[in-house]
Amino acid sequence: MTRSRITLTADKEARIVFIRYIGDVDGQTITETSISQFSDIEQVWAYDAIFDLRRFDGVLLSSELQELGDRWRALANGRDAGRRSAIITSDPFPMARLPATRAQFPGRVIDIFSTFDEGLEWIKSGRSGQTAV
């Protein structure tokens, strides 16, 4: 049995955070752990993100997504405008509620991919011509 957990790795040079939800993690834990880990990264709003949900067995309820969005907006304070978030999953549920996810993180550009490499390439493609933050 897989131990449920959330992992976050920050590539400070590339300005990308990698978040993995593994197992049956509940929505409250996702919110608390994610915000705590994000708060540990200096200027986290200046990072793009990859949310790897391929091993996630839980469900993030709409109210929990809203709470996560509220807490993120309070932390980022609009400074994440234009940053990208790639969600990696083949689960149709996150795909179906992509509009609601985008609404909770209005400054970010969010899309879903079936492979990690596709998501990473999409993030990199959005940086062409940009200077380092």
Nearest to 93 by CA among 53, 52, 48: 53
Nearest to 14 by CA among 101, 118, 120: 120
Kindly provide the residue ranges of all beta strands, DSSP E only, lying in 1-133, ordered along the sequence: 5-11, 16-22, 48-52, 84-88, 109-113
The count of other CB atoms within 10 Å of the CB of residue 121 is: 13
pTM confidence score: 0.92
Q: What is the average pLDDT score of the chain? A: 93
Q: Give yes or no for residue 51 having a pLDDT over 80.
A: yes
pLDDT of amino acid 127: 82
Delimit the domains of the chain by residue range: 5-125
pLDDT of amino acid 130: 54
pLDDT of amino acid 1: 60
Q: Give yes or no for residue 96 having a pLDDT over 80.
A: yes
Share of residues in the chain with pLDDT > 70 (%):
95
Note the pLDDT tens digit of each residue in 21-48: 999 999 999 999 999 999 999 999 999 9
pLDDT of amino acid 133: 42
pLDDT of amino acid 129: 55
Report how far residue 91's alpha carbon sits from residue 73's, in angstroms, rounded to the nearest whole number.
26
**How is domain 5-125 classified at the architecture level of CATH?**
2-Layer Sandwich (3.30)
Q: Give yes or no for residue 85 having a pLDDT over 80.
A: yes
Q: Give yes or no for residue 55 having a pLDDT over 90.
A: yes
Mean pLDDT across the stretch 50-66? 95
